[in-house]
Amino acid sequence: MVRLVDVYKAYGSGTRALKGVTLRIDDGEFIFLVGPSGSGKSTIIKLLTGELRPTEGRVQVNGYNIGALRQRDVPYLRRTLGVIFQDFRLIEKKSVYENVAFAMRVVGASPREIKLRVPYVLDLVGLSHKARRRPLELSGGEQQRVAIARALINNPKMIIADEPTGNLDPARSLEIMMLLERINALGTTVLAVTHEKELVNRFAKRVVAIDGGRIISDKTGGYYQYEAIRN
Amino acid sequence: MKRYETSYFFREGIRGVFLHGFMSFAAVGVIVACLLIMGSFALLAFNLDAIIKDIQNNNEILVVLDEGLSREEFVRFGTTLSGRTDIMDNIAEYTPISKDQALADFAEKVDEEYRYLIEGFATDNPLRDRYVVKLIDVNQMQDTVLKLEALNGVAQVYARLDIAQNLVRLRNAMNTISLLLILILLAVSAFIISNTVKLATFDRREEIGIMRVVGATKSFVRWPFVIEGFLLGLIGSIIAFFLQWRVYALLTERISEGLSGIALIKTVSFGEILAPVLGIFLLAGFLVGVGGSVLTIRKFLRV
């Protein structure tokens, strides 16, 4: 579960990225976080992954209080999360299998556990047949599916997808969103940051809109509501 | 740490050494060069020290007494000497040698064909009574010589004062130079290793970033780089050790061949110092390799 209570975040440069954000995400939810560039979306993600600490307010992620989190506990917080990026961030020198297995290895999984779990997750994202390929031999959609497999491999409580379809064509974007929806149906919380209006509307999930560091809308049912508020 | 984790770290560390082939080669080369230079100076200083100790142990000065001293006066000089505690403080032992004994000793050293010349001195011995004095501390030789010269009945004191003093001076200079060189070269080696690891970490910063995002602890990220540095240090120190062995053997061989007539030059055989040299080289390689890695990787872990 994620809770942000009256969170403020100011950077050293004086920029105030968040101004009193309060948000609750329950286990098993699927949420779209939308907003223009510089609205504070990335700051929220960085707070959730422990990369940043709030200036004021309270951020609680899967039982970790981010404001009071010790540096050595950050890896353990991150093991409860799976993060997906717009640019996939795969290791080019490693195969699809190794890219996914690598994420298990870093959390101390045994070779036996890796052998059992990786094929299962690759099957879940539909990439079993491409396990030996290198990322650059795959399409953008496939690369993103590898990234999703990597995010899922350690069975996180929550997937954070930062513009997961930003580099994909509409058909592949839909595939990725459907895959995230499937993962959500299996019980994993999904927080997706996106600009794709049509995609957001198509899934009719809870949409949290942020602008100027403040949450301006939090409703189930689509992106257009946010635009209506802005206009 | 689990066994499979250890094997993973070693695999990654070894992979890193080969992956950054040129920088690894450069790092090993620098470690070898630095250790060789350091080792050579240290061994030179060590040998000088051994020679000085040897001179101290065998250091004899010759106290020649005045001509025409009676037998009693010759013996009494020994009593006088042993009564002078200020001189005896630096004397390990002294041996009286009469002029007849001195002539006999001299005759023994002369070749057979020239011995007839010595026989002519049997009735008119030109040598004088003397005392052979063994010193405790060669550094105080000058002071002891002056005190001996001031004693009644002493004609002349023969001492290898200049050699001993020069050797002490040389050893002190060598020690200072060695220490300075060791410090400079250690810093240079650590700098090169640090750059190798920096390049390696820069090359893999994306990978490190991903590791951190998926929940890798800092130590998990750090270990392969530490092992890479350790391997570079280990390889460098082992190569340097064998090269040092060879270089040392060649040099000591040359010295003993070229200066065989000079009893003063005695080199320590490498076999005697093999274990400490290997230990020091391995330790230096370890410190430089691992130290360079740990210091470099730190800033890449702030993700």
Say whether A107 and B216 touch across the interface (CB within 8 A). Answer: yes
Q: How many domains does chain B have?
A: 2
Q: Which domain holds residue A219?
A: 1-80+156-168+180-231
Using 50, 70 and 90 to split pLDDT, how confident is the model at A50? very high
| Residues A63, A91 within the same domain | no
Q: Are residues A43 and A63 in the same domain?
A: yes
Which range (A84-98, A133-147, A192-206, A211-225) has the least confidence? A211-225
**Taking the CA atoms of chain B, what radius of gyration do you get in angstroms?**
31
The residue in chain A having the minimum alpha-carbon distance to the alpha carbon of residue B216 is A106
User: Given B128, B159, B190, which residue is the final one in a domain?
Assistant: B159
Residue in chain B lying closest to A78 (CA): B215
Cβ atoms of B160 and B85 closer than 8 Å: no
Domain count, chain A: 2
What is the biggest distance separating any 2 CA atoms in chain A, rounded to whole angstroms?
A: 56
Question: Three-state SS string across A112-149, please?
Answer: HHHHHHHHHHHHHCCCHHHCCCCHHHCCHHHHHHHHHH
Same domain, A69 and A97: no
- What pLDDT digit, counting tens, does each position of A90-115 carry? 988 889 999 999 899 888 889 999 99
pLDDT digit string (tens) for B1-33? 677 778 888 888 888 788 777 778 887 888 888
Q: Is the pLDDT confidence value at A223 over 70?
A: no
Cβ atoms of B282 and B31 closer than 8 Å: no
Q: How confident is the model at residue A49 (pLDDT cuts 50, 70, 90)?
A: very high
Residues A164 and A140 in one domain: no
**How many whole angstroms separate alpha carbon A131 and alpha carbon A102?**
13
Tell me the pairing of strands A64-65 and A56-61: antiparallel
| Domain identity same for B84 and B225 | no
Residue A76 Cα, gap to closest chain B Cα (Å)? 6
The reported pLDDT for the residue numbered B141 is 82
The reply to whether A202 falls in a domain is yes
Q: Is-contact A187 A172, C-beta < 8 A?
A: no
pLDDT, residue A202, reads: 86
pLDDT digit string (tens) for A20-42?
A: 999 999 999 999 999 888 899 99
Q: Sign of dihedral through CA atoms A81, A84, A88, A89?
A: negative
| Per-residue pLDDT reduced to its tens digit, B253-303 | 877 776 654 445 667 888 888 898 899 999 988 888 888 777 777 766 765
Q: Predicted ipTM?
A: 0.82
End position of a domain, from candidates B135, B159, B183: B159
Query: Cβ separation of A106 and B213 shorter than 8 Å?
Result: no
Q: Which of A51, A75, A110 sits opposite B216 (nearest CB)?
A: A75
Q: Are residues A63 and A164 in the same domain?
A: yes
Mean per-residue pLDDT over chain A, rounded: 90
Q: What pLDDT score was predicted for residue A101?
A: 94
Residues of chain B with pLDDT under 50: 261-263
CB–CB of B229/B289 below 8 Å? yes
Q: How far is A69 from chain B (nearest CA, A)?
A: 14
Pair A90, A49 in one domain:
no
pLDDT at residue A133, as a whole number: 95
Which residues constitute the domain of residue B282?
Answer: 3-55+165-300
The answer to whether A200 and A207 are in contact (CB under 8 A) is yes
For residues B155 and B169, state if they share a domain: no
**Interface contact B210-A108, CB threshold 8 A:** no
Q: Give residue A35's identity as a one-letter amino acid code.
A: G
Q: Are residues A33 and A97 in the same domain?
A: no
Does the residue A146 lie in any domain?
A: yes
Q: Is A207 within the bounds of a domain?
A: yes
Residue A112, classified by CB atoms within 10 Å of its CB into exposed (0-12), middle (13-18) or buried (19+), is: exposed
- Chain A residues bordering chain B (beta-carbon distance below 8 Å): 49, 51, 72, 75-79, 82-83, 89, 91, 102-103, 105-108, 110-111, 150, 154
Residue B118 corresponds to which amino acid? I
Q: Are residues A78 and B214, on separate chains, in Cβ contact within 8 Å?
A: yes
**Which of A147-161, A210-224, B11-25 is most confident?**
A147-161
pLDDT of residue A172: 87
Best of A62, A71, A105, A136 to mutate (most B CBs within 10 Å, chain B): A105
Q: Do the Cβ atoms of A91 and B2 come within 8 Å?
A: no
Note the pLDDT tens digit of each residue in A114-151: 999 999 999 999 999 999 999 999 999 899 999 999 99
**Which residue on chain A is closest to B220 by alpha carbon?**
A106
CATH of the domain at B120: 3.30.70.3040
